[in-house]
Amino acid sequence: MNIVDDEVEVLKISLDNVHDIKGKKEQKKLPKDLTNRELLRVDDVHAIYGWGKTSIWGWTATGYKGFPNSIKISPRFTAWSRKELDEFVSSLKAQG
């Protein structure tokens, strides 16, 4: 396997949410302040989708499989659109 294959595998795993030992899906429990946010910082994206922070920054830089562009709010504040991230996840699921 190469790095790209590893990243694809990480994406597939993270798309399946959290599973318990018996294989039943459990709803991810997110802090209340994340549930209604439209713009997400890298820590928020990591908490919600389970992707590594380094992967998030790398996918943003390379446009990996259509990963959404970040939005530069200020020199030290970068965010992603939750709607665009959800669309990205949906497109990956549709690809199989």
Q: Which residue has the higher pLDDT, 70 or 1?
A: 70
* CA angle in degrees (0–180, nearest 5) for 38-94-31: 30
What is this structure's pTM?
Answer: 0.66
For the chain, give the percent of residues with pLDDT over 70: 64
Q: By C-alpha distance, which of 47, 37, 94 is closest to 71?
A: 37
Tens-digit pLDDT profile for residues 15-26: 444 333 344 444
Tens-digit pLDDT profile for residues 60-84: 999 999 999 999 999 999 999 999 9
Q: Which residue has the higher pLDDT, 91 or 9?
A: 91
